[in-house]
Amino acid sequence: MSTQAKAYRGVAMEGFIADWYARNTARDFRRFSETARAVAERAKPGGRVLEVAPGPGYLAIELARRGYEVVGLDISRSFVRIATRNAASAGVAAKFEHGDVAHMPFPDASFDFVVCTAAFKNFTDPVGALDEIHRVLRPGGGASIVDLRKDAPHAAIGEEVARMGLSPLNAALTRWTFRLLLLPRAYTRESIVELARRSRFGGCELGEEGIGFDLRLAKGA
C-alpha cells in the first residue's frame, strides 16, 4: 500500500485550471475518437470500463456512446463535476467518482477493461496504481495506459499541438507545458516496462505511436 501523501505530481487540476484544460482539450476530439476505437478493439462489447483520470470525460463519453458501461475515477473534484456535466449534456450514462488510483473505492474484479490516458506519468505511486488496476479487473480483463514518452521529439510535439486547433496563445502555453513540465516526468520505454514487471501484472506489451506509448496489460483468466 502506498504511503505517499499526494496522489498526483504537478499542478492540482482544480478550479480555473481544470476549466481551462477542459476548454482546450474539447477542441481535439480526434484523439478521443481514436483512443475509443483502440479500446473497442480489446474490450468486449458492452463490457464495464473504468477510465482512470478521465479529466473532462471526453473519452468516457465516446466509450459510452459505443455501448460500454463507463465509470471514471479522478483525483480532481473539479474534473468529476465537469465530466458529470459533460456526460449529461451528451446524453450518456457515464458515471464519475472522486478517488485515488492507488487506493480505488471499487471491489475486486469490478471491470472488464481499464484505460488511462495522459496521466500515468503524474502518479506518485505508479506500481501501486498498476496493482490497483490489476485488482479491480476481472479475470481475463485488460488495460491500456496511453501517455507521453520521454524521447518524444520537440518537432513532433509541435505538430501534435498544431492539430489541436488552439489559439496562438494557448498553443504556445501548451508547447511550453509539454517541454518544461510533462517531458521531464514522462517515462522511457525501459522504465515503463520495468514498472509493469514489478506490478501484479508481471509484464506488458508496449506499442509506440506519435509522441506516446500504449502500455497494454492483461490479467490472467
pLDDT of residue 176: 66
Whether 3 has a pLDDT exceeding 90, the answer reads no
Instruction: Give the bridge partners for 200, in sequence order.
Output: none
User: Are the C-beta atoms of 72 and 83 separated by less than 8 Å?
Assistant: yes
Give the pLDDT confidence score for residue 52 in this predicted structure.
97
- Domains of the chain, start order: 15-150+188-218 (3.40.50.150)
- Cell triple for 182: 510533462
pLDDT digits (tens, 9 = 90+) for 18-73: 766 677 676 667 788 899 999 999 999 999 999 999 999 999 999 999 999 999 99
- The angle at the Cα of 5, spanning 18 to 146, to the nearest 5 degrees, equals 50
pLDDT, mean of residues 112-117: 97
**Beta carbons of 215 and 144 less than 8 angstroms apart:** yes
Which pLDDT does position 26 carry in this prediction? 67
Global pTM reads 0.86
Residues 143, 110 contacting (CB under 8 angstroms)? no
Helix (H) or strand (E) holding 148: strand 137-148
pLDDT over 80 (residue 125): yes
Predicted confidence at residue 8, as pLDDT, reads 59
